[in-house]
Amino acid sequence: DPWRAAEGGEGAAAGELFTPPHGVRRGSSPKGSEEPVVLLPVFSAAAQVRVGLTLLLCVISASCNLALLWSGWSSRPAAKGSHARLLLLHLAVADLLVALVVMPLDAAWNITLQWQAGDVACRLLMFLKLLAMYASAFVTTLISLDCQAAILQPLAAAQAWRRNQVLLYAAWLMSASLSTPQLFLFHTVTIRSPQNFTQCTTQGSFAQHWHEVAYNMFGFLGLFLLPLLVMSACYTRVLLEISRHVSSWSAQEMPLRRSHNPIPRARLRLLHLSLAIVGSFVLCWTPYYLLGLWYWFWPAGMEGAVSPSLAHILFLFGLLNACLDPITYRLFAGGWQGGCCRAAGRGKQLPSPITGSFQGSASSARPQREGGKWQPGPSLHPGLSQEALEC
């Protein structure tokens, strides 16, 4: 269909599967006419609501992530050296890129309906759009891997900073590499009838329809499915390890006073943080990508079955993830400058979450390794470093 433009066609390649609905469509021809009626997009009420909500999310996400970045760069030098804080700052940068590129671009495109920024901006902005989404997904995955390493391999915490630096370089490099095809696939297309109408689209870039589907599926794997599998595996291992150690303790080994035992609080905190990280990612993006799979493999079945309003809502729900990331860490880390990386990398003794201080010496609170197995100390979970409890 020569009139099929980017109505969803830019798809997962742009990180936006169905909207903005700016492709031209063919309507039914008048009786006796062989020429198709070209239907141009309109700024509908649903699109107007979408623009308002997108701009609201943009303000919230930009404010929260800027606050997180400010607290990170203005914190004490010791806190800046925390490998956990390093990951959080990179996640804030990725989410800020979503807030400053993806959201304003989407709002402006829904208002103008057609592309008015030229071919170079079309290619560059589509590249930055996908770069932001890949980076956010990859850095979130690295946070899961870092928390798993801090708990399962606490003795390797000294190498965590260097390891995370290397992984972050790789994550950003992969994000840029995987986004590079956008520079060649997207271009501007202009029709002359019924009026001049220009769109930024992938029309004509794929020789066969299955090529486009394959490219979209590749984006789906990198943006959603593989990060989801890695994060789920990491936190499953973490929870299984904690459960295994807790169940191995006999009643005699447990301190009589609850003030001596921060384990229930630490374990619950880790569980909540794990569920928040994975849950927000899954909750925000799963409905959108499920609708994407439907569109890629059965586009005809979506016509009339899915309203444009639903596509708008699901895309906004996905963008909400960039707002939830800094808020999640704010809630579970106890402050922009505290919490999950407050004591990481400093080697200081952490206070009990319940009493505010440890009962016992610092040496007795550390887990001991004997015969290759972890032996519990009286205050800390066996096998968990003090930094791990704050991951």
Give pLDDT, residue 71: 81
Give pLDDT, residue 347: 38
The count of C-alpha atoms lying within 13 angstroms of the C-alpha of 202, restricted to the half-sphere facing its C-beta, is: 27
Per-residue pLDDT of the chain (391 residues; tens, 9 = 90+): 222 333 333 333 333 444 334 444 444 444 454 455 556 777 888 888 989 999 999 999 999 999 988 887 776 554 555 667 788 889 999 999 999 999 999 999 989 888 988 899 999 999 999 999 999 999 989 988 888 887 787 666 668 788 889 999 999 999 999 999 999 999 999 888 777 888 998 988 998 888 988 999 999 999 999 999 998 898 888 888 877 777 766 444 555 444 444 344 554 565 576 678 778 888 898 988 888 888 888 877 777 777 777 888 888 888 999 998 888 877 876 544 444 444 334 434 333 332 333 233 333 334 444 444 444 433 333 333 344 334 4
| Cα 91 to Cα 322: distance, rounded to the nearest angstrom | 9
* Host H or E run for residue 189: strand 187-191
Give pLDDT, residue 37: 54
For residue 386, count CB atoms less than 10 angstroms from its CB and return exposed for 0-12, middle for 13-18, buried for 19 or more: buried
A 10 A CB-CB count for 72 gives: 21
Give pLDDT, residue 73: 77
| Cα 63 to Cα 387: distance, rounded to the nearest angstrom | 29
Give pLDDT, residue 269: 64
Tokens for 7?
């109505």
Give pLDDT, residue 259: 46
pTM of the entire structure? 0.75
Give pLDDT, residue 171: 96
Give pLDDT, residue 388: 38
User: Which H, E and C letters describe 52-98, residue by residue?
Assistant: HHHHHHHHHHHHHHHHHHHHHHCCCHHHHCCHHHHHHHHHHHHHHHH
Tokens for 94?
């990725």
Give pLDDT, residue 2: 26
For residue 325, count CB atoms less than 10 angstroms from its CB and return exposed for 0-12, middle for 13-18, buried for 19 or more: buried
**Residues paired with residue 189 on neighbouring β-strands, in sequence order:** 199
Give pLDDT, residue 385: 39
Residue 228: closest CA among 310, 138, 348: 138
